[in-house]
Every structure is written in structure tokens, then in C-alpha cells.
Structure 1
Amino acid sequence: MCRTESSPQPSTAGLRAPSDRKGAPAPLVQGEPIEIREGVFVIPDNRVPIVPNIGIVVGDHSALVVDTGIGPRNGRYVLEQAKRLAGDRRLWVTLTHFHPEHGFGAQAFKGAATIIYNDSQRAELRRKGAAYAEMFRGVSPAVAAALDGVRFVDPDVTYTGEAEIDLGGRTVVLREVGPAHTAGDQIVLVDSHVLFGGDLLENRMFPIAPYFPPHDTDVDAHRWITVLDQLLALSPTVVVPGHGEVTDATLIQDVRDYLDHVRAETDRLRGLGASADEAAEAIGRDARSRWSSWDHPEWTDLAARAFYHAHPAD
């Protein structure tokens, strides 16, 4: 049984929802899983906002789902696809982090799969889940509809540090690496080759630093860079980002280069006496030029502010 604890839920007042999505497609996980390596499947996000890449890893006797999509409807769809691939194999499900589009479909798996989170991720969901659901409901009617009926479920198993799951002929390592993008970030590494990085990594999109003072300031932008160095040292051959196309380890370096640039520019501008607003504006303008093919340039503002107000890494 999971431990229970009482934690206050933060208000959503002052939290910034993702940028306006009123004209975007409904955030539905759709399409059939694509095999990206033997026994490793991804339901791609197709670059639809608030839809993540979903992983399904199938071994001889068990299968693992990575992320669930936003809300119960998406969770049920992912479960159906996982059952289709897994047959009568035992099912596990885990999350790269607690954010709504990655984990708010977990209720569909309760009783059908063993749900496993790291301790920090479970605690973060308990602290912030309700507030984030309220915030995301304000994004658009389609997102609010996706969250209709959402409820939060505790994991069946928790771990600290690292956990290994033998799926039968295929080994998956779950490793907590937060705080970085969130306090409870987790990577999933399959047979030392395929890396599911969650929102530590986005392909051709500016990564979001969820810096929402005073309600949520757990993002650790300096440590995020350190985590990316750790991921580079793993030398994965296939990298599945939280959003965007499946690729290789060059993506890790690309995201690291961007964050390192924002860190250096923030330090320089702050040293010149620029305010947080002035630094964010200048860095955003420069980043739009340097990474002109990347989507969601509005997220540069939050990254600059996260670095501006953080203590430098030791």
C-alpha cells in the first residue's frame, strides 16, 4: 500500500497556462503505435499541442507504458493500444513527470496495470495536481473537455533513485533525475539504447521552464543542464522527446546548447544591470533569431526568468 500524506494544494492564481490553444486541434492521442526499435513502440504526438509522445515497451512476459496523455479518454485509448500489443502480458505504467498531458490519464490504468512513480513525482502530483488541472482547463474548451472526469490515483509502487523492471528479454531502467524541468523528473532507458526523456527534451520546440512564482518555482534550470550532461553520457541511440519527432542523441546536445546560451546571456545581462523583464525580452528576441525553426518561442521568457532568479549552480 502507498503511504498517504496531506499536502496543501497551491492556488492557480498567477499560474500561466500554456499559450493560447483555442485554434489548436483537440489534445487527443491518436494513431497506431509505431515500432522504433524491436519491441519499443511510440504513439507519436504529431506535433499537436498538449499531446505527448507515448511509449509502449513490450517484453516476453511484461510490457511498460510511458505516459498516458491528458485525461481519462486519452488514458483509455493508450490502455487499449497497450493491451493490443501486450496481449496477456503483465502491464506496467509510469510517467516521465506529473504534468497534465503526460500523466492525467493514469486513472484508466488503475487495476489494469501496476502504476510506478518515483517518490518525488508522487509528492509533486499530490501538491500540484489539482491546481494544474484547473489551470489547463482554462486553455481552451477542448482541453477542458479532455480533463472532464479526471481524478488522481496513487501509484501501486514507488521507488527512490532507480528502479529496474525486467520485461522478459528486455530491461527497463527508471531513474529519477529531478529537480530539473519538474521536481520529480524521471527518465526511462530501455536496454541502454532507447531513452524516453519527457519534457527535459523537445524536438524543434523551445523547452518550457515552468517558472510560475510564487506558486511553482521548482524548476531548476541550472541542474537541468547537468542532467542533460548525464543523458549525453548514456549515449542513447534513439531518443524519444516529450514532444516532437523521435530522433537521436544530437537532440540532447541541441537542448543543452540552448539552455546554456540562455544561462550565459542571463548572467551577462543581469551583470549589466538589466531587470528580469529586460533580460527576458532581449534573450527571447535573440533566441527567435538563433533557433528560428523552433516552435513556441514564447517559452524563452520563462527560461530566462528561471535562470535570472535562480542561484547559480555550485
Structure 2
Amino acid sequence: MTEPQLLSAWAGHWTGPGTGVTVILPPAGTVGSGEVRGGAPATREFALLEPTRLVDRVDAVVLSGGSAFGLAAAEGVMSLLRERGEGFPTPAGPVPIVIGMSIFDGSVRTGPPDAAGGRAAALSAYAGTALTGGRVGAGTGASTGKWRGRLDPGGLGLAEREAGAVRVAAVVAVNAWGDVLGRDGDPLFGGPPGQTRPAGPYAMQNTTVAVVLTDARLSKSDCFLLAQSGHTGFARAIHPAHSRFDGDAVVALATGLSAAEADLDLLRAVTVDTVAAAVRAAVIPPG
């Protein structure tokens, strides 16, 4: 897979035994918003992303395994950013705005990511280490198809597209209760989408989380709309999506580094395709 240009400079992984962390460190001044649609989220600082809130910048987004325990990875990123003097300016000094989203993997039992894992992923991002997808970072312990009582492949997917004169990229940790669908709408693993599911033991061990990143110059409200389009990408490539047993969440970031004027509706349409492609890339090896 070709490495997405937008993510290559600002993202990194830490991969541990059966779990991991993926960190996105956008340039200073990046505007962000987000939306949760799943019924069982594990998130950090998500209320800040609402369009009506004061702070519109985002300094880092941390994707991790370990469910609520794995949110501790964000503390390692926050402390590193503080050391570097980055964050929202306050009279007491900069306060880094670090958003966290976690999936439920086996590390909940065996040892979830901690602050050290978050710091290692952030240092990898600063070092410019090539970003890869698959069973790495936050997607290391992911699986899908659990509504059928199975553990089908999951992972971390990357994709990037042009939207007129600007670009949009997506990084998605796919740990869905439902099936991942191919472009034809059929599940990539298992039977047809209408097949009756058996009672499975995996009702609480799910969640798909994503970061959408564009070089367009957008407002916080625009980013909220972009996050909504990311969820449409989930619905296009996962069935069922946004269940009671998933904590599906999307954060949308706009760096504003492109001088071109963005067509927001075109950007939203391309975002749907980009997120859907990233979901499929998480479980289909390149080649």
C-alpha cells in the first residue's frame, strides 16, 4: 500500500503484545471536531470537540487498545507535548489538547497500553517513521464479525484521496461487531449479509475508531460535518455499524496547510469513500 502523504509526517505506532497505540500529531493550529455514534464508547476529552465548545484546536489524537484502560496512553502523549511547549495557551502555560479513543481487545485482561506506550507512539511520529497498516498499533488486537459469534480479521487501515484541490486521509482501527463489506456490499468473510447470526460471546468486545485528516482550511463546524461523513464511511463498509455494542467514533482534523479553497460537499463525499477504503484496507493485505 502506498503510504498516505498526509499521515506520513504526523503519525506513529507503538505495537505491544496483542495490542498497541497509534498517535496522530497534526501541525500546530489544526482545527478539529468529532462525533460518537456507537453505544459503548471509550473516549477522552471528546466533549471539547463539540462545535459549540471554546477550544477549536487539537494537538494529538490517540487510538489505542485496552478499552477504558487504554485511554491512559494519552497521558504519555500529553506529557511529551507539555515538555515540548505545545498546546492551547493559558496563563499557566500551554495545555495540550489530546483526544483519546480506544477499542476493546484482549489486553483488557493481559495488560492494556499505558502512558509509556503512548509516548513511544508519539516519538515514532516525531521521528518520521513510515506509517503502515494491518496488525500494528491500535489495530494489533482487533477483530470483526463478532455478531456471528466468530473472530474474523480486524486491524488498522489507511487510505488517502484527492477532493478537488485538497486531500483527505483516514486511519481506522477496525474492531467491529459487524462484518467488513467489500465494494460489492457482500461480507469479506463468512456468509451473505442477511444470514441469521448465532448467539455469540463477543457482544462487549468491539468498536471502530477513525481519524480523518485533510489539508483543507475548515471551521470547527465544518470538521463536525466531516466527522459525520466518516461515520457514513463506516456504514458503507461495516454491517451492522454503530451497534449498541460498538463505541464507534470519528475525529476530523483540518490542518489548513492547503492554500486552495475546499468544496466542503465534495470533501464530505470523498471522505465517505476514503473511510470505507481504509476500513477494507485494515483487513485486506495489499497486493
Q: Same fold (TM over 0.5)?
A: no
Pair member with larger Rg: 1
TM-score for the superposition, normalised by structure 2? 0.33
Name the structure where helix makes up a greater proportion of residues. 1
Structure with more contact order per residue of length (Cα contacts < 8 Å, sep ≥ 6):
2
- Provide the TM-score with structure 1 as the length reference: 0.31
